[in-house]
Chains A and B, each alone.
Chain A
Amino acid sequence: MAKAPALPTGFELPLEPRIPRIGSVDQVAVEERAATLARRSIKREAKLFALDLAVRMIDLTTLEGQDTPGKIAALASKAIRPDPSDPGIPSVAALCVYPNLVPAALDKVKGSSVKVASVATAFPSGQSPTHIKVAEVRDVVEMGADEVDMVIDRGAFLSGRYAKVYDEIVQVKEASGKAHLKVILEVGELGTYDNVRRASLLAMAAGADFIKTSTGKLPAAATLPVTLVMLEAIRDVYQETGRKVGMKPAGGIRQAKQAVQYLVQLYETLGAEWLTPDLYRIGASTLLNDVLMQIRKEKTGSYQSPDYFTID
């Protein structure tokens, strides 16, 4: 790109010239649209299709101070065979853990299709020096993590230092190498849908393979409207550049019914091409069992009890 003449602050050229405008989001309208889509009635084979897909899209997550190799082992076996009594149930997409648990996770999922994702960059606050965050990413990639879930520097974003946020993502992307980079916006701290859209475009411009709503450490996590705003940003980037970026809502998705709503929204916003774990993940822990219960209910016709599904 040719060097442009200097402009006053606020007049910088777009980071990615083919994204012509950041634009804005109308809160009421986007919430109404999300609510309308959530009222779709998905039944029988269409529901089974969605539930099966949901399982394959789950990033089964544990991010606790009390995580141990034992806990990871249990979770890994759940990830590989979510319902031992039903071999028709696919494996989940990935295990999502803290850096220290990456080796244990890798060991347990070996030979399966389940990937290992590690959070990094001073998760969940992101309030550490950039070089430390980058070093952490190098470490988890070296350990063999398939995917890196980073957090953006919300302090920098909210004080208007977008370049800092952007540069950091670029550096992390570089440090991630072949590992897939998911960029967590922590939407619960951004305050407005306008900010969510701006952060989404910023993250994608800086090289994110996925954009992700939340760390799961805040009460305000993924919601249907905030996810819709991010999907629309993904759609704009695809329209302008042909690049497909993935989406991961995380936190707060606990019921199968919600998972179906998220998938309806995905399907009607980005189309069938995005209905794959390569481009959509659901970050969750308790969701899996509810999905399994619903699948069995659809297959047997009887309502189910949690007593028949393992807790790991």
Chain B
Amino acid sequence: MTDLERRQDRSPVPSGWDYAPAPEARDIVALEERYGLYIGGDLVEPRSGQYFPTLDPSREEPLAEVAQAGKEDVDLAVRAARDAFENGWSDISPAERAKYLFRIARILQERSREFAVLESLNGGKPIRESRDVDLPLSAAHFFYYAGWADKLEYAFPNRRPKPIGVAGQIIPWNFPLLMLAWKVAPALAAGNTVVLKPAETTPLSALLFADVLRQAELPPGVVNIITGDGRTGAELVKNEGVDKIAFTGSTEVGKAIQRELAGTGKKLTLELGGKAANIIFDDAALDQAVEGIVNGIYFNQGHVCCAGSRLLVQESIYEPVIEKLKQRLRTLRVGDPLDKNTDVGAINSREQLDKIKELVASGEEEGAEIYQPPCRLPEKGYWFVPTVFTNVAQSYRIAQEEIFGPVLSVLTFRTPDEAVEKANNTPYGLSAGVWTEKGSRILSIAQRLRAGVIWANTYNRFDPTSPFGGYKESGFGREGGLHGLEPYLGFDDSETGGG
């Protein structure tokens, strides 16, 4: 008998439907054994002489070795950037500058499959997300800012914009290429040169980006990429040749950078942590709200600074929402980041996994009720099951601290005032969500929430035209949109205004 005949014989209701593995081909990515630093247009060996392995977190296997840039290497990179800024780049006509950025955007589109696979390999994120979110948005950012390069004087009425010089940029591991795009595109559009430090655990897409720059024929030294751990970042912050620092990462490190730069007059923008509230009112479109909750906290394993990690549900619909949420969690597919059907990939590093575990343990100790769907995790690699905590009090650590993992804390509220009060009761202020079918309520709640991005009846949407950034301890400065240019420009305003 064939398989099909046998199938006809058995009960018409199958017990389940196992999707066959659908892995994206890995061989589109050709990795070197060892990478140097991208300084002055070449990959060079680090003066430090030090290298460290970078891993595939889903297998705990090394992918390549990358350089640990030391003080001397940082100096070299900054000098290369300074040299490029003073000898050429700032003289190129803005329209020509724009064309380099357009080229970069196009090459990213052309090589998007390669980048998506690499991003998932090195970062652990599902290929579905790197393919459908990270890559298209990265290319779009370059495309968007390309067009600004020769139109800057229209962006700020009655001001005269000019580039700042050398921008030092330090980016996190959750969206390695997208964060690179968010930083590099506006910096170049504004006429600056760049020294970029990718995150310690996810340097590979930035190093592949160096090859994009080669293809785009960007003049040497305009963008320099130096890999390393936190020490490299600290050297970059301290370096006197840097005119501006842009940092995305933890609030703790952000504060240290702000302290370090005190009195130097260097420009600074910070995009830091969050503990966003996602508020569900009883008249919300429930099934879509549940999707929004899931997208809010399980997108990219919850490694998202604007993740909707605190769910605030109106008490009158608490039960159906939690029931729907649990049901939905059971359909999340956790596993191989390169499988096209994976919804939740690997945790980025051992360190991050330990932090998540520690906070989850604290949640259980403090008395919250934990729910995790049945889930088979791979034996090797860093994994964490999507988790929901109910019965969470505002005072619990899991309701206060950023977990940066696939862990949701559920709280309830009774009235709009209570929802707003609880949502704002945090030192953070990056983002928030509100779900209601009542238009006037959306506008009122959106106005009262102290956060830089409000998603109404949606969550975790991004676009190059849309400014992003925080209130309070979530940082300052905006990335994206017209407002994202401002941090990369100086202004000669002597003639502005009256008296």
Contact = CB atoms under 8 A, between A and B. Distances in A.
B369 interface: no
Given A39-B132, A49-B7, A278 B12 contact: yes
Q: Which of B3, B288, B291, B292 has the most A CB atoms < 10 Å from its CB?
A: B288
A37 B16 CA distance: 17
Interface string A40-70: 1111111111101100100000000000000
B3 A272 contact: no
Nearest to A44: B20
A56 B12 contact: yes
B13 A272 contact: yes
A12 interface: no
A272 to B, nearest CB: 5
B12 A232 contact: no
Q: Which of B14, B17, B291 has the most A CB atoms < 10 Å from its CB?
A: B17
A29 B292 contact: yes
Given A28-B458, A33-B291, A46-B17, A41 B340 contact: yes
Given A28-B458, A39-B128, A48 B4 contact: yes
Contact of B323 (A50, A239, A295): A239
A178 B206 CA distance: 66
Interface string B154-191: 00000000000000000000000000000000000000
A307 interface: no
A89 interface: yes
A231 to B, nearest CB: 10
Interface residues of A, number: 40
A43 B23 CA distance: 10
Contacts of B320: 239
Given A25-B288, A232-B287, A268-B331, A52 B20 contact: no
B29 interface: no
A272 B11 CA distance: 12
A24 B7 contact: no
A191 interface: no
A276 interface: yes
B437 A46 contact: no
Nearest to B12: A276
Contact of A46 (B5, B8, B20): B20
Interface string B128-151: 100010000000000000000000
A276 B285 contact: no
Given A29-B291, A46-B17, A23 B285 contact: yes
Given A25-B285, A46-B17, A56-B12, 20 more contacts: A24-B283, A24-B285, A25-B288, A26-B285, A30-B288, A40-B19, A45-B3, A46-B19, A48-B4, A49-B7, A49-B14, A49-B17, A52-B7, A53-B14, A87-B5, A88-B2, A89-B4, A239-B323, A275-B14, A278-B12
Closest 10 CB pairs of A and B: A29-B288, A88-B4, A41-B22, A41-B340, A26-B288, A46-B20, A26-B285, A44-B20, A276-B12, A43-B20
Interface of A: 23-26, 28-30, 32-33, 39-50, 52-53, 56, 87-90, 232, 239, 263, 267-268, 272-273, 275-278, 295
